[in-house]
Chain A
Amino acid sequence: MSTIEDFRRETRAWLEANCPPSMRTPMPDGELVWGGRTVEFRTEDQRLWFERMRDKGWFCPDWPAEYGGGGLSAEQNAVLESEMRRLHCRPPQINLGIWMLGPVVLEFGSEEQKRELITPMARGEIRWCQGFSEPNAGSDLASLKTSAVDEGDHFVVNGTKIWTSYGDKSDWMYMLVRTDPNVPKQQGISLLVVDMKSPGIEARPIDLISGKSSFCQVFFDNVKVPKHQLVGPLNGGWTLAKALLQHERRAMSKFGEFSLPNHVDLLSMAGRYLPPADAASTADVALRARVLAMAMDEHAYTITTQRMGEEMRTRQDVSGLMAIMKLVHSEQEKDKLEVLLDVMGHRALGWEDEAFDSSELALTRAWLGSFAQTIAGGSSEVQLNVIAKRVLGLPEGKQGK
């Protein structure tokens, strides 16, 4: 009889034999592999790792094998994750569909949708993007206006979505649309999946204060969407959206794990830009104290991610911890980059100039980019509301409709 320890042994052996050594190193941002109709590989090892994991069904290890998943139990999946962590395996691909839409289709989708959407997703053949926010529906997402009008065998979609990451590079979009404007706002929303090649769709990249970005605004002009591309019940999209956002939070915490090795080390930066202790002025000393306090707070956060992992493994309730992670991480990143700006002085303020080295120019961009982090994916204020109400159980206040 096969036990979980057998599975661990087999998995470890398989990973050791199949994960190329170059795929066991920290992954710079530029080396992410995105699944999709056309997958770009920078190295042969990336291709091998992608294909081997795909053929194993391990892009989605715990999805049912009948739809192309790995068919692993939750326990086996945890073993696989821990073995991949142990070997420092990179994720073979990044795909918003798998993290967010997939679990929702598996729970709410029809049998036909599971076959048509889940199977290619599990093989990394479709790159998905998300169409939730609109210019006038940010934190108040349910006030969205993009409409889908029933025209018999299809819907006609009109409106615009904003802050769609890689809207210009994705194959399909899952989106929230208004299918009934005459009921309370949460009750008239549906979830559609749309081929980005459909006539009438245009995706325009958005320039940010930090420069070029992956964000797009996507415009819909009389776009025909076949009826069978409605996921879940008509006007039942809000429930699905909430489930999706739950998965988003989980996905973002995983994403954080991958990108950890890239982080800028505060203390080495201080060592590089501040004078040595015997030549330090009062101002230098005060600045160094701020750097240290920031590094310590960051350390406390890192330990908190580890603690959350341990508490999950020992089956404790981590919903409270989960609710603080995005808030703390994004606010800390902002604070940290501001401290680094002070440490580096004018050298952190360069823009497309050879007088600055590439790490300095990257830091400038990272600082400007950090402002988006406390806004996107649920602003800090929304996170605080969630903690106050769901974790602390504080009463509802008077709110707008």
Chain B
Amino acid sequence: MSLVYSEEQRLLADTAAEFLQARSPVAAQRRLRDEGAAPRFDDALWKEMVGMGWSAIPFPEDLGGLAFGCMGLGAVFEALGRNLAATPLLSSIVLGGTLIELAGSGAQQAEWMPLLIAGDKRIALALDEHARHDPAATALRAERRDTGYVLQGEKVFVADGQGADAFVVVARTGGMPGEREGLSLFVVPAHALGLNVSATGMIDSRNHARLRLDGVRVDAGALLGVEGQAWTALDAALDRGRVCLAAELLGMTQNLFDTTVEYLKTRVQFDVPIGSFQALQHRAAWCYAHLQLARSAVMAGLAAMDDPTLDAAGRARLASLAKWKAGDVAHRISREAVQMHGGMGVTDELDVGLFLKRIRVAQALLGDGDFHVQRYGDMTPVEA
């Protein structure tokens, strides 16, 4: 397990950074926000990213992927974070695509993988039903009817749900909310009868949706994997999503930190740069130290996804460590960034606020700090 990018991964990171800086800088995200139109990311630009192979990175070659692993994805997500770039890479590729890869039948893989990798269609994961992420709490029912199923219930905070071509809906076919057993995955087309998709406006101005499933009928072919046994694939896909989100958080935090240190060097008060004040120097130095710890945790989380010698619990533990530490440090540094920019820090004119808002959403997505602290504990064997 390596904790540094390989030469190839570094090359990918540099290419991604260059491309995003030129084509998708923070100013472009601001424009997207002001326009406020669905899908709230630049679809033409997404097609260019697809053209560069980003959507193929994590998948095996026999499914049309590049088999470049999560480390490769991490390099891209870090660059996306630095530029605050909105793309459906997390929703449609890392989450949706991984579920098709891990749980799908040969036929389902053959149907979906080429479409997803080519960017011709998008899938979004419909999982959460409450304000806080908790996959086992899923209550939305899927009941067998004739040769298929009927789905009834609601999903909230579905990332990139507006305009998605289909959803992977996590539903309960058995057991009780709170249990891992009894969950099933269904691929539900966006045009399914009884499915209502509405936009949810959130502080990061990105694409979030609410789904109402009112007696949505799907046939047996919509079931992804074995009925009632979705947990293993779902958890593995979520972990890939979590480490990618952690890498995005790291990129955003690094950008905020660099910007803030630069501001400390140039902002003059009392006839000196404010960065000469020890009260600020020490806080900045602590931010730097924590940022390094976060980077290590993120690299370990990414590497863990690609490490075949680890078991699921070992991977889960490092994924939770990465998401927790990246979120925690992003929180700390975004607060400091606003404070150290003084009055300007609370204006919309500065980009600091845009980062702050996306950071808070990314912290809550796929499990907040408290969720991952508990999960890390559950996944850690205790020495006697």
Contacts and interface: CB of A to CB of B under 8 A. Distances in A.
B278 A385 contact: yes
Nearest to A314: B4
A265 interface: yes
A19 to B, nearest CB: 26
Given A303-B300, A387-B285, A395-B272, A267 B380 contact: yes
Contacts of B299: 303, 307
Contacts of B273: 395
Interface stretch (A91-99, A212-220, A290-298): A290-298
B261 A394 contact: yes
A324 B292 contact: yes
Interface string B290-308: 0011111101100000000
A212 B205 CA distance: 61
A304 interface: yes
Contacts of B56: none
A384 B278 CA distance: 9
A300 interface: yes
Interface string A316-338: 10001100100110000000000
Interface string B346-384: 000000000000000000000000100110110010111
User: What 10 A-B pairs are tightest by C-beta distance, nearest first?
Assistant: A388-B281, A387-B285, A304-B296, A397-B276, A324-B289, A394-B275, A307-B3, A300-B293, A303-B296, A384-B285
A271 interface: yes
B99 interface: no
Contacts of A321: 292
B295 to A, nearest CB: 8
Contact of B321 (A268, A300, A393, A397): A300
Contacts of B40: none
A396 interface: yes
Contact of B282 (A296, A297, A381): A381
A307 B4 contact: yes
A296 B289 contact: no
Interface in B241-298: 261, 264-265, 272-273, 275-278, 280-282, 284-286, 288-289, 292-297
Contacts of A271: 382
Measured as residues with beta carbon below 8 angstroms from the partner, the interface class of chain B is: 35 or more
Given A310-B2, A324-B288, A300 B278 contact: no
B261 A392 contact: yes
A280 interface: no
A281 B377 CA distance: 17
Given A268-B384, A292-B374, A301-B293, A397 B285 contact: no
6 contacts: A296-B325, A301-B293, A391-B288, A394-B261, A395-B265, A398-B272
Q: Residue among A300, A304, A397 with the most chain B CB within 10 A?
A: A300
A299 interface: yes
A397 B282 CA distance: 12
Contact of A303 (B3, B280, B376): B3
Interface string A42-71: 000000000000000000000000000000
Given A300-B293, A310-B2, A388 B321 contact: no
Contacts of A392: 261, 281, 284-285, 288
A299 B298 CA distance: 12
A292 B373 contact: yes
Contacts of A301: 293, 296
A299 B328 CA distance: 15
A384 B296 CA distance: 20
B4 A320 contact: no
B241 to A, nearest CB: 19
A239 to B, nearest CB: 25
Contact of A328 (B275, B289, B382): B289
A384 B282 CA distance: 5
Q: Residue among A288, A307, A394 with the most chain B CB within 10 A?
A: A394
A367 to B, nearest CB: 20
Contacts of A297: 293, 325
Contact of A397 (B281, B289, B294, B296): B281
Contacts of B295: 307
Nearest to B369: A293
Contact of A394 (B276, B294, B374): B276
Instruction: Give the secondary structure class of A's interface.
Output: helix
A16 interface: no
Nearest to B299: A307
B324 interface: yes
A393 B265 contact: yes
B265 A320 contact: no
A327 B282 CA distance: 12
Given A310-B2, A397-B276, A303 B297 contact: yes
Contacts of A366: none
A381 B288 CA distance: 14
Contacts of A73: none
A295 B295 CA distance: 17
A289 B281 contact: no
B377 A267 contact: yes
A381 B324 CA distance: 27
B383 A267 contact: yes
A202 B208 CA distance: 74
A268 B383 contact: yes
A397 B377 contact: no
Contacts of A299: 297, 321
Contacts of A388: 278, 281-282, 284-285
Interface string A371-401: 0000000000101110111011111111000
A395 B265 CA distance: 7
Contacts of B2: 310
Nearest to A304: B296
A7 to B, nearest CB: 24
A292 B4 contact: no
A311 interface: yes
Given A271-B382, A395-B272, A310 B4 contact: yes
